[in-house]
Structure 1
Amino acid sequence: MPRQIFQLRISLTGVRPSVWRRVLVPGGYTLDRLHRVVQHGMGWRDCHLHSFEIDSRQYGEPDPDGELALRDELDVRLDAVVGKGSRFHYTYDFGDWWEHDLVVEDAFTADPDERYPTCLDGARACPPENAGGPAGYQILLAALADPGHPEHRSMRDWVGERFDPAAFDAGRVATLLRRFC
């Protein structure tokens, strides 16, 4: 049976200008593998906890203390819980609370000459880890954009000279996805 591929649009909520990715992912991927796609696709470093919310059910890494009622993401295939037109959420870093809106834009048969997962398109760089969530990131962007801002130099030192919030390279992301997912 041919593999089914889902075209997903992943958008970081609460951030303007919009940070998003369009990726192609095998429907047979477990949610654990989809977690890796979101991490590498967006540019996160997988330093914090995460969860998926699909149809009011929570999925993620089981909590050994039993405090979080999560279904094990290793046991759930993407194509078993979503289909074309589905919308669901992925939250990363429960302190900063980076929420991602995921939409299954299309579903189709895999091209035998294509390697999956891959990234088709996107916009803007991922916020740096520990930026303080969407509100903290807006403060960072304002400080970086204004050399006269009182925190411009300290924020630039923190993120490094190479950080460009407008930068995005779909080819680089596609390579990361193929290598690590």
Structure 2
Amino acid sequence: MFKTINAVQIHVSLDEIEPEIWRRLVLPSGWNLGQLHLAIQAAFNWWNYHLHEFQIGGLRYGDVGLLTQDADEDDPRVFDCREVRLRDFAHGAVFNYVYDFGDNWRHTVMIEEFVALDVAPKHGTCIDGARARPPEDVGGVPGYERFLEIMSDKTDPEHADTRRWVWRLFRSGMVRPGCGGQGCAQCAAPECKAPAASAKAEAQRTDGYINQQPTI
């Protein structure tokens, strides 16, 4: 019996970080790129207070008003992210999502599979993933690498201040529960195995864009 495609499975990973920080999502195929942005934010536990854009086939997609506010005439045109839906992509399509133009967190997005679920999903679901994401405003990949060095060396002169900074993030809710201070550095460290087990739970934080119950 023929079933209508109503969902898409997507793999999202952070570039330039090893071991890989990644999430696998199942989302309604009718969602647009604006909704995909919110799903990625929720899945990685980013806090959505920086600019973002999608880069697809050499073109930029995002919030046209925000991204062109201070643009020059020679800047590439920005297309409305709401005009592109996930079902518009081909199986295996790969494109980029950039969050925070200062830290420049580049994510690679892959369309893994289109699926026909028995019940059409209304929300997204994070079904798999590994490792906690870097702290917001840590300074991009170089800053994150330095952060890991500092937190793994108690003799580093910046260790105490950095640990206090992480604790403040924990108190404000900007890192996941259980990861304040020493714990946060441990689960961000490459040798730590804990984030793989906790990634799904972390990724389920959302404003209705990622469901807490796996769909498949």
Poorly superposed stretches of 4+, deviation over 6 Å: none
Q: Shift in Å at residue 50 of structure 1?
A: 0.5
| Corresponding residue pairs, total | 179
Distance in 2 of aligned mates of 1:150 and 1:6: 48
Correspondence for 1:24: 26
Aligned partner (choices 73, 88, 98) of residue 81 of structure 2 = 73
SS of alignment partner, residue 169 of structure 1: helix
- What amino acid is aligned across from residue 171 of structure 1 in structure 2? A
For the residue of structure 1 that corresponds to 2:19, the secondary structure is coil
- Which one-letter code corresponds to 2:24 in the other structure? R
1:77-116 superposed matches below 5 A: 77-80=85-88, 82-112=89-119, 116=123
The counterpart of 1:179, out of the listed 190, 193, 208, is 208
- Counterpart residue number, 1:140: 147
Alignment match of 1:49 (pick from 48, 51, 72) = 51
Cα distance 1:6–1:141, how it changes in 2: closer, same or farther (>3 A)? same
CA distance in 2, matches of 1:45, 1:177: 10
Shift of 1:56: 1.6
What fraction of aligned residue pairs are identical, expressed as a percent?
A: 34
Q: Cα 1:78–1:138, aligned 2, differ >3 Å: closer, same or farther?
A: same
Alpha-carbon deviation of 1:178?
Answer: 6.8
Structure 1 length-normalised TM: 0.89
CA 1:171–1:114 in 2, change beyond 3 Å: closer, same or farther? Answer: farther
Residue by residue, what CA displacement relative to the aligned partner does 1:63-105 show, whole Å, maximum 9, x if unpaired? 244545210112221222x221111100011111100001111
Q: 1:39 to 1:56 in 2, by over 3 A?
A: same
1:2–1:116 Cα change, 3 Å: farther
- The gaps in structure 1 that reach 5 residues or longer are none
* Unpaired segments ≥5 residues, structure 2: 168-180, 211-216
Q: CA deviation at 1:127?
A: 0.8
In structure 1, how many angstroms separate the alpha carbons of the residues matched to 2:85 and 2:10? 15
Structure 2 CA distance for aligned equivalents of residues 77 and 104 of structure 1:
12
Contact 1:118–1:177 under 8 Å retained in 2: no
Residues 118 and 53 from structure 1, CA distance in 2 versus in 1: closer, same or farther, beyond 3 angstroms?
Answer: same
Take 1:121 and 1:25, find their aligned partners in 2: how far apart are those partners? 13
Root-mean-square deviation over aligned CA pairs:
2.1
- Secondary structure at the counterpart of residue 44 of structure 1: coil
Q: Report the counterpart of residue 175 of structure 2 in structure 1.
A: none
CA distance change for structure 1 residues 100 and 6 in 2, over 3 Å: closer, same or farther? same
User: Who is 2:61 aligned against?
Assistant: 59
In the alignment, structure 1 residue 170 sits paired with structure 2 residue 178: no
In the alignment, which of 110, 127, 133 is matched to residue 134 of structure 2?
Answer: 127
Matched letter for residue 19 of structure 1: I
**TM-score of the superposition, structure 2-length normalised?**
0.75
